[in-house]
Amino acid sequence: MILHIENAVEPGTLDAIVESLRNEHFTDGIETAGRAAKQVKNNQQLRLQNDKPAALLMLLNHLKKNPLFSGVTFAKQFVNVMVNQYQTNQEYGLHVDDALMGHIRTDISFTLGLSPIDDYQGGELVIEDTTGERSWKLGSGDLLVYPSHYLHHVNAVRAGERLAMVGWIQSHVRSAEQRELLFDLKCSMSEELDQRGKTHQYDRLSKSYNNLLRHWAE
Ligand SMILES: O=C(O)CCC(=O)C(=O)O
Ligand SMILES: [Fe+2]
């Protein structure tokens, strides 16, 4: 399941954090690319290392508070987080994210847009599955969460600059299919609770949700 969440981080907070990121030193994205990805990765990045830069950690902490994000990821740990910067004519060609980062499995990838949508042209995040491609142009605060197993790329930025936070998560629930099933059940629970209250149906759904999670969580 690919989930697009708008306004994942409150706009005022986001703007202040992004402003402070501007003082940070970005390095060549090629540093963390594997042998093949090196041939197609053309951007700059800012990595979260030993709790620095603090602004990036702050951004991550705000993101973690989004209920939809936690409901869909079942995050066990954030394996890696960074900010990507693409200037005009920069792109990240087709690749699949590494399955292991620092010996930890990556189950879910995400991108949080940090640039207002009108500040850049091109720069869509494109994900490929067996049926073809789908692309998302992310604005400030727009979040895309997707299973790490897809081939994907970022189209060249034709004008302006695209800034985005990207990250990888190890999930308590390894299978994307199981996560989707749990997410659907959770949505049904919320709907039932909102519309009819804590009915017997709600209790049954909650029992199924929690017992499936107990089966699958690792
Ligand atoms: O910038 C993005 O939206 C995604 C970048 C990406 O695919 C990566 O860093 O592996
Ligand atoms: Fe990627």
Q: How confident is the model over 27-37, as pLDDT tens digits?
A: 999 999 988 99
**Number of other CB atoms surrounding residue 155 within 10 Å:** 18
Say yes or no: 106 and 8 in one domain: yes
What is the 108 CA–ligand 2 centroid distance (Å)?
11
Of residues 140, 134, 130, the one with CA closest to residue 164: 140
| Residue type at position 17 | I
Whether 51 and 136 map to the same domain: the answer is yes
Is 90 exceeded by the pLDDT of residue 132? yes
Report pLDDT for 62.
Answer: 94
Verify that 196 and 158 share a domain, yes or no: no
- When divided into structural domains, the chain yields a total of 2
Same domain membership, residue 21 and residue 65? yes
**Average pLDDT of the chain, as a whole number:** 96
Burial of 77 from C-beta contacts in 10 A (0-12 / 13-18 / 19+): exposed
Q: What residues sit around ligand 2, an ion, with C-beta below 5 angstroms?
A: 97
Q: Residue 32's domain spans which residues? A: 3-171
For residues 56 and 150, state if they share a domain. Answer: yes
Q: Taking residues 44-71, report their average pLDDT.
A: 93
Residues 182 and 120 in one domain: no
Structure tokens at 214: 């107990």
CA of 96 to the centre of ligand 2 (A): 6
Pick the atom of ligand 1 nearest to 164's CA: 1
The enclosing domain of 91 has a CATH number of 2.60.120.620
122 and 44 within one domain: yes
State the ipTM, two decimals.
Answer: 0.99
Q: 131 and 212 share a domain?
A: no
Q: Give me the pLDDT at residue 52, please.
A: 87
Q: Is 111 in the pocket of ligand 1 (CB under 6 A)?
A: yes
158 is in an annotated binding site: no
Atom of ligand 1 nearest to the CA of 162: 1
The answer, yes or no, to whether residue 50 has pLDDT greater than 90, is: no
148 lines ligand 1 (CB under 6 A): no
Instruction: Tell me the CB-side half-sphere exposure of residue 192, using CA atoms within 13 A.
Output: 15
**Domain co-membership, 80 together with 162:** yes
**186 with 142, same domain?**
no
Overall residue count recorded for the chain in this entry: 218
Q: Are residues 64 and 79 in the same domain?
A: yes
